[in-house]
Structure 1
Amino acid sequence: MKRQTETGDNEDPGARLALQWQRITLAANRLGAGILRRQIKGDHFLFPDPQQIAQAYWRWGLALVQDPARLLATQQRWTEEALEAWQQLMTPPGEAEAPKTADRRFQHPEWRNNAALDFMHRGYLVAAKQLLNAVDEVEGLDPHTRQMVRFYTRQYADALSPSNFAATNPAVVERALETGGESLLRGLANLLEDLAEGDGQLRLRHVDPEAFEIGRDLATTPGRVVHENRLMQLIQYSPTTETVHQRPLLIVPPWINKFYILDLNEKKSFIRWAVAQGHTVFIISWINPGPELADIRFDDYLTEGPLAAMDVIRELTGEEQLNTLGYCIGGTLLACTLAWLAAAGEQDRVSSATFFTTLLDFSDVGELSVFIDEEQIQLLEAQMARKGHLQGAHLGQAFNLLQANDLIWSYVINNYLMGRDPLPFDLLYWNGDNTCMPARMQSWYLRHLYLENRLREPDALSLAGQPLDLGRIKVPAYFLSTAGDHIAPWRGTYHGARLLGGRVRFVLGGSGHVAGVINPEHSGKYGYRHYGRLPADPERWLQSAREYAGSWWPDWRHWVAGHAGEQVPARTPPEGIEPAPGRYVRVRAPKGAS
């Protein structure tokens, strides 16, 4: 259902209120019907699992009561900090400046100018800090339980922020007064519509789903689909230079998201930029699988993905070697492909490999580890057995929790308390364009890589008949990680880079998993670090690394050019199957939470 846009100030207030009540009634009816459907189907799958969270807190509670002295010390410190906040509040103006917080939730002037709000938000920050300290200071907890309890305690603290409640958020109160309460009605309608969209589970919108169209606003770099199979379409992009590098470039994107993160628009498109640098660019566009592909294996992603693409590229260009690039899980698959080629004696087909924010050693996956244990994987496997695939919305919910204040609560305030529709934002549109994962492949990936971390062990895993040993990969590699990455933490990717057997250039960019990668050379943002050696300790590398201003893109351009061969006449893609971006990328995941 497309949301109504905000009405103009000149329209009759009564008509506007009537429209809002109509939206509320319709959305409530849809919500009730959706909940009834889920009850009839028995479809009440929740991830993360509340029972697993409760068990973690039970173990934490047992450890807490076994150390009463530490509990008393924590309570005493909490009281002292609360008294200090009260004393600061009571200091007359002019004797002490009211402390300002860098927390974006409390930037409205009234959080400092209003004595009650000032005390409330400072008291909240003290309480939130002490809650997390209480988790950190309890002894006798296993690391996984401690991380789970700390993670969900932070979620609890974030949820209780006074900025998340209409009566205690000054910006919400101002808007309600300005609109005569209409903003609150509009927000209620937005909430009901999002609940109805998820059949009773909240589908928080970061962007209007009709704000963009793939092929018109996004993924617009000209090209052709030159090959397809049941798992992917292979796109070749049209050249924009008279000559190109001899060796083509194959990009392997993640299938957990869609490839057009690398082709958002003309200014942000890495693909368009790479074409302009004289590369013959090919990219895999993965299928958005349904239940019919439930038995697809990780082996099939290898053979029908990069290996199939390499064969097609050799046939189209006549080149025996190519450069490769993998992003996130696409980089993990690329590393598996290179190890497979090495075992098969075909490693000379690849001239170089680039990895964007890629984990090969899964010993440090950051806060994602709170979702990875035997019990939770069994829960996902049971759901996938019923559905045939893992719905991307479940993973999206987990990723949103990693940045709850930015990706959940700021939109709760905007959409529901302020009664506004989210602004058009291409990156968030892509983030909400969910994909599904075949059941058998996803189970293998979660178990053997995340849970057991077996890819780092030589010959511990085999794919398509070949044992995998990352140490046998001798091709030159460029490893890009980002300092603020919450999905592939850079220290984890660093350990993985050291597993490769060839020369590795490790570069640490700024920002996070996406913004740090999509950082065009003229953006002037973030900067990057590099150091030529890879000591065992990533902190030693960080201390030794030199910092450079601006985007890392020019650094990669210079590096990859050394592996790209001579200049040859530009290659125009054949007529192929259909124009880029193709059909596969347009397939939407099913609506609803499951």
Structure 2
Amino acid sequence: MKLDDGIAPAKGPAIPECVPQQELPAHVWLDKQFRACLARATGGLSVISASMAGLDWALQLGISPAKLMQAWQVWLRQSIEDSPRLLPTTSEPPSVPQSDQRFAHPGWRDWPYRCWRDAFMRSEVFWETLTQDIDGLSRHHQHIVSFCARQWLDLAAPGNAWWMNPEVTSVASRTLGSNFLRGFHHWLEDIGEWLSELPASPPARPVLEYLPGRDVAVTPGKVVFRNALIELIEYAPLTDTVWREPVLIVPSWIMRYYILDLKPEDSLVRHMVERGHTVFMISWKNPDASARDFGLNTYLESGLFAALDAVLARCDGAPIHAAGYCLGGTLLATGAATLARDAGGGPLGSLTLFAAETDFHDPGELGLFIDKSSLATLDALMWSQGFLDGPQMKSAFQMLNARDLIWSRAMSEYLLGQRLRANDLISWNRDATRLPYRLHSECLHKLFLGNELATGKLCVGGRPVALSDLDLPLFVVGTEHDHVSPWRSVYKLHLLTQAELTFLLTSGGHNAGIVSEPGHPRRRYRVHTRHAGTPYLSPDQFLSRSTYHEGSWWPAWQQWLAARSSGRCVREPLPSGSPEAPGTYVLEA
């Protein structure tokens, strides 16, 4: 492995040579190509899986006449209750609840808009009743049917039609329709960007409002180690002395690392460095088809373990406070269990997981796409490309929250003609990455479908690893409105280890809940520590017994790390010949 000049090498395995794609029998090759073409047409979704769920639902509902009667009774009762508001002369009382932000505009209280709103909301309740709690319907099929019904209802929402939306008609009247001209211009711009992201086109980075190294990812530091998979950034100290134990952050490979180093006022990295912590950050290389055979073991050996070796060399062997975000946290937990199995814990002093699942039995709405049929379809798509492309992955996440990420945005930008004001987090979200075929396939099959990490079946180095071997302090962060890693699923780590575990539940979602800088309005969190060997508390018991705090959770984590550090020291300066942060990998398309 050749390192760039000025970057100190560290012990760690080299990236294995890329294994050429094996020749497949003609009939297998043909089947995979057919599945891949179908996957491209459906955005990677399995038509068979959705069809089987729909058929199961229809058959089970067909033999549940009482369920049908219940749905119609609810619809009829609500229709009678809403009937007085059908008259133009009737004024809607201000006490009518407006909990749905789609109908928060005052114009929805006026006739005839309130009639369309009420009819739509009755339809939502009707279909929710028809897709929930049906005897004999499998849980997975129920989730798929409910999800599909929600997608169609969101598409048919009256707010998506300009003549049925009082806010749009008001703006159109005031601007003489110029909002539609601006919206059409925005639509043409988005179509051009979408065409540039097609898999057949050369990889191109979207135009970002906040550029790494200029607007974000500007905390001073240097790249102190590089191989073909990672760049390791060490951030320059901003205090005269630092805590002896360094902090290594392992972001997920499905995101650019600088979500944790956005603008200086939004940067978790800067927050920690300003408080005397030596922070290291892994920056994953954005893979192409040549990395198709990089799997979990590759990311462990040449990613996590190589970074740990480099941090040890830089910090004179001091124990490391390791933190992982999302799947980076899952990788870190797997690596920590491996080190506990082989080296009694190895170099780790503590383990922190940000919105990271270790038990995938209930993976949230991502589970909609996780069954054998869906994975066979997605596998064929990745096999033909060598990777899962960023726009393909982004489309799947947008579908999970289509109401906010698709229809609300479309109404604002295309009907009102108002571009959403970009911020550093929105800009980062557009900066998509790719996933190697083998890594993504192994994660889906071994973690999401097989749940092998939680059940002790996941093998590293030919032997299984168990999270029950972990015997070091744990700090685990969950977020209240997480569609990717539901906090109750993250909480299940309590069942997998008896080590001391501090669990913190913060407001926000998967990204905005973690980027929770001090001073951010309306932030809050709950925290509770389960000491080693003490009885298990259920999630509901945690909610009742945890301590409530207003504000950001960042200071609580920093104080937790400081309490588990052995004192302060003077850190040697960064290598003078090393490249400046943010490095080169984060700048590649």
Q: Percent identity?
A: 34
Q: Hey, what does 1:60 align to over in structure 2?
A: 57
Q: Hey, what does 2:301 align to over in structure 1?
A: 303
Greater CA deviation, 526-535 or 118-127? 526-535
In 2, distance between residues paired with 1:576 and 1:390?
36
> Using a 3 Å threshold, how does the CA distance of structure 1 residues 50 and 199 change in structure 2: closer, same or farther?
farther
Q: Hey, what does 2:545 align to over in structure 1?
A: 544
**Which amino acid is the alignment partner of residue 103 of structure 1?**
D
Give, in angstroms, the shift of residue 126 of structure 1: 1.3
Among residues 403, 406, 425, which one is paired with 2:404 in the alignment?
406
1:216 aligned counterpart, secondary structure = coil
Alignment of 1:510-589 (within 5 A): 510-533=507-530, 535-588=536-589
Greater CA deviation, 420-429 or 215-224? 420-429
> Using a 3 Å threshold, how does the CA distance of structure 1 residues 322 and 95 change in structure 2: closer, same or farther?
closer
**Which amino acid is the alignment partner of residue 171 of structure 2?**
R
Greater CA deviation, 290-299 or 516-525? 516-525
2:79 aligned counterpart, secondary structure = helix
Give, in angstroms, the shift of residue 450 of structure 1: 0.4
Among residues 465, 474, 494, which one is paired with 2:471 in the alignment?
474
Among residues 191, 206, 222, which one is paired with 2:187 in the alignment?
191
> Using a 3 Å threshold, how does the CA distance of structure 1 residues 567 and 320 change in structure 2: closer, same or farther?
closer
Q: Which runs of 5+ in 1 are unaligned?
A: 1-38, 589-594
Give, in angstroms, the shift of residue 346 of structure 1: 4.7
Alignment of 1:74-89 (within 5 A): 74-89=71-86
Q: Hey, what does 1:33 align to over in structure 2?
A: none
Q: Hey, what does 1:490 align to over in structure 2?
A: 487
Q: Hey, what does 1:277 align to over in structure 2?
A: 275
Contact 1:524–1:551 under 8 Å retained in 2: no
In 2, distance between residues paired with 1:299 and 1:457?
18
Do residues 127 (structure 1) and 123 (structure 2) align? yes
The normalised TM-score by structure 2 is 0.88
Contact 1:389–1:438 under 8 Å retained in 2: yes
Do residues 111 (structure 1) and 112 (structure 2) align? no
**Which amino acid is the alignment partner of residue 159 of structure 2?**
S
Contact 2:220–2:581 under 8 Å retained in 1: yes
Alignment of 1:326-365 (within 5 A): 326-365=324-363
Contact 1:253–1:329 under 8 Å retained in 2: yes
> Using a 3 Å threshold, how does the CA distance of structure 1 residues 173 and 562 change in structure 2: closer, same or farther?
same
Give, in angstroms, the shift of residue 88 of structure 1: 4.2
Q: Hey, what does 1:139 align to over in structure 2?
A: 135
1:153 aligned counterpart, secondary structure = helix
Q: Hey, what does 1:168 align to over in structure 2?
A: 164
In 1, distance between residues paired with 2:473 and 2:290?
39
In 2, distance between residues paired with 1:42 and 1:454?
26
User: Structure 1, residues 186-230: CA drift from partner, whole Å, max 9, x if none?
Assistant: 323432442343339999xxx983422111111110101111111
Q: Hey, what does 1:592 align to over in structure 2?
A: none
Q: Hey, what does 1:156 align to over in structure 2?
A: 152
Contact 1:259–1:284 under 8 Å retained in 2: yes
Contact 1:135–1:149 under 8 Å retained in 2: yes
Greater CA deviation, 522-531 or 549-558? 522-531
Give, in angstroms, the shift of residue 41 of structure 1: 13
Give, in angstroms, the shift of residue 44 of structure 1: 3.2
**Which amino acid is the alignment partner of residue 442 of structure 1?**
H
In 2, distance between residues paired with 1:373 and 1:401?
17
> Using a 3 Å threshold, how does the CA distance of structure 1 residues 92 and 522 change in structure 2: closer, same or farther?
same
> Using a 3 Å threshold, how does the CA distance of structure 1 residues 280 and 85 change in structure 2: closer, same or farther?
same
> Using a 3 Å threshold, how does the CA distance of structure 1 residues 333 and 526 change in structure 2: closer, same or farther?
same
1:199 aligned counterpart, secondary structure = helix
Contact 2:474–2:499 under 8 Å retained in 1: yes
Give, in angstroms, the shift of residue 570 of structure 1: 3.4
Greater CA deviation, 285-294 or 428-437? 428-437
**Which amino acid is the alignment partner of residue 328 of structure 2?**
G
Q: Hey, what does 1:368 align to over in structure 2?
A: 366
In 2, distance between residues paired with 1:522 and 1:378?
46
> Using a 3 Å threshold, how does the CA distance of structure 1 residues 84 and 91 change in structure 2: closer, same or farther?
farther
Give, in angstroms, the shift of residue 43 of structure 1: 5.4
User: Structure 1, residues 39-72: CA drift from partner, whole Å, max 9, x if none?
Assistant: 9999535233444323322221111112223213
Give, in angstroms, the shift of residue 311 of structure 1: 0.9
1:498 aligned counterpart, secondary structure = helix
Alignment of 1:43-54 (within 5 A): 44=41, 46-54=43-51
In 2, distance between residues paired with 1:568 and 1:373?
52
Contact 1:233–1:584 under 8 Å retained in 2: yes
The normalised TM-score by structure 1 is 0.87
> Using a 3 Å threshold, how does the CA distance of structure 1 residues 244 and 376 change in structure 2: closer, same or farther?
same
Alignment of 1:305-320 (within 5 A): 305-320=303-318
Alignment of 1:33-48 (within 5 A): 44=41, 46-48=43-45
In 2, distance between residues paired with 1:466 and 1:443?
20
Q: Which runs of 5+ in 2 are unaligned?
A: 1-35, 200-204
In 1, distance between residues paired with 2:410 and 2:305?
44
In 1, distance between residues paired with 2:394 and 2:37?
26
Q: Hey, what does 1:7 align to over in structure 2?
A: none
Q: Hey, what does 1:17 align to over in structure 2?
A: none
Q: Hey, what does 1:18 align to over in structure 2?
A: none
In 2, distance between residues paired with 1:507 and 1:240?
28
> Using a 3 Å threshold, how does the CA distance of structure 1 residues 344 and 40 change in structure 2: closer, same or farther?
closer
> Using a 3 Å threshold, how does the CA distance of structure 1 residues 160 and 201 change in structure 2: closer, same or farther?
farther
2:475 aligned counterpart, secondary structure = strand
Q: Hey, what does 2:177 align to over in structure 1?
A: 181
2:234 aligned counterpart, secondary structure = strand
Give, in angstroms, the shift of residue 317 of structure 1: 2.0
In 2, distance between residues paired with 1:264 and 1:244?
22
Contact 1:226–1:575 under 8 Å retained in 2: no
> Using a 3 Å threshold, how does the CA distance of structure 1 residues 485 and 94 change in structure 2: closer, same or farther?
closer
User: Structure 1, residues 536-588: CA drift from partner, whole Å, max 9, x if none?
Assistant: 52212222222122222222122111222211013422135411011111122
> Using a 3 Å threshold, how does the CA distance of structure 1 residues 369 and 168 change in structure 2: closer, same or farther?
same
Q: How many matched pairs?
A: 545
